[in-house]
Amino acid sequence: MKVVVRVPEREDYEIKGPMRVLDIVRRLDFLPEEVIVIRKDELLTRNDVVEDSDEIEVRPAVSGG
């Protein structure tokens, strides 16, 4: 799978799938609460499985009040 990381000072990665989103996030050394993961226009949950042929995007989670 291709992983596009949109967090400063990071790169694009190739990771073998299938793999759960939570495992991908941990492999990239992020805390799950720090990022969101998107496939096409779909926001993925921690337990969603990403296939080897997928392309996902990892972005910083933004919160505010």
Q: How far apart are the C-alpha atoms of 58 and 28, rounded to whole Å?
A: 10
The CATH code belonging to domain 2-60 is 3.10.20.30
Burial of 8 from C-beta contacts in 10 A (0-12 / 13-18 / 19+): exposed
The per-residue b/e assignment along 14-41, b for 16 or more CB within 10 angstroms, e otherwise, is eeebebbbebbbeeeebeeeebbbbbee
**26 contact partners, CB below 8 Å, separation of at least 6:** 32
Q: Along the 65 residues of the chain, how does pLDDT read in single tens digits?
A: 988 888 776 788 899 989 999 999 999 999 999 999 999 999 999 999 999 999 999 999 887 66
